[in-house]
Amino acid sequence: MKAAVIYQKGEMPQYTDFAEPIVENDDELLVTIKAVAIKHFDKGRAAGTHYASEKSKTNGQVPGGDGVCLLADGTRVYGMGVSGMLAEKGTINKNRMVKLPEGLGDVEAAALPNAIIGAAMGLRFKADIQPGDVVLINGATGFTGRVAIQIAKHYGAGKVIATGRNLQSLDDLLALGADKVISVLQDDEQFINQVKTIHAQTPIDVVIDYLWGHTAEMILCCLKGEGSFTNRIRYVSVGSMGGDIIQLSAANMRSVDLQLSGSGLGAWSKKQVGLVFTEILPEMFQLAVEGKLKVETVNVKLKDIAELWDLDVPGGKRLVVTI
């Protein structure tokens, strides 16, 4: 079969012939792959920089962790790969797949799941979002951040505040459901004043953070209490595009009813992961069919993967490879 193969960590994938994967147990299925989204997660694992990176294989490895597939009977599903997914054939876990609804295209179906998981898991299981909550999404101009705005509103958020760097993308977020946007490019004092003003007027209940780093330090500073009663704030770290380390004042932990947690591989229970496939993804796929969950993609062919692996994808869009 043809596949994108990486022979050394950090190298570009090559479009070449590769051995077809073999089903190794009863929990696996051999599938024909139709579309695969390329995420920061995939690139990080391929380069060995993500905490969930696999060991390098001397005979090469196929990147890509999930995608849209056809079962042997022609049923179209989204599935999480056991083998690498940037290939004509792959193996998936039969307990980690979702039948796709009519009206949802392969490209959109491939693009959505990682962002849905990166948004819904934090909102639902870590933040325990409640109707009327005020939600701040830090780093909302990216693909997952845009999805998070829409899911937060679907889950009943009363107000969504979105931060980001790309000024044009920030304006676009208002059409997706954001009620207020804040640029992280302004100086620290202006950023802090804007967040503090919003928090004073409509206390922030939930923070979903895709940036971490200095912006997280500033937001936490804005949430710090002054010794009086405070609302319960659930701060969820999902990504670290702005830096992996922060300084956290002990006063932040003592002066406010603050829950600080993370949402990612290793942070969810087996039951919660199971609900991804039985409840969350089916619900969100249907929202997409109904036009209530919107995304934008850049589509490329598998044969061009070497030239397009590091393609500069416009802000807020997802790179999807069609097989």
Set out the domains of the chain in order of their start, with CATH numbers.
Answer: 2-99+293-322 (3.90.180.10), 115-262 (3.40.50.720)
36, 28, 39, 49: which is closest to 4 by C-alpha?
A: 36
- pLDDT score at 10: 73
pTM across the whole model: 0.92
- pLDDT score at 217: 98
H helical segments located in 48-166:
106-121, 143-154
- pLDDT score at 47: 63
34, 142, 39, 15: which is closest to 85 by C-alpha?
A: 34
How far apart are alpha carbons 307 and 263 in whole angstroms?
33
How far apart are alpha carbons 320 and 323 in whole angstroms?
10
**Across the 323 residues of the chain, what is the mean pLDDT of every consecutive 10-residue run?**
90 94 96 94 65 59 96 98 97 97 98 98 98 98 96 98 90 95 96 97 98 98 91 97 95 94 96 97 98 96 92 90 96
Provide the 3-class DSSP secondary structure of residue 99.
strand
- pLDDT score at 53: 45
Q: Over 137-193, what HEC string results?
A: EECCCCHHHHHHHHHHHHCCCCEEEEEECCHHHHHHHHHHCCCEEEECCCCHHHHHH
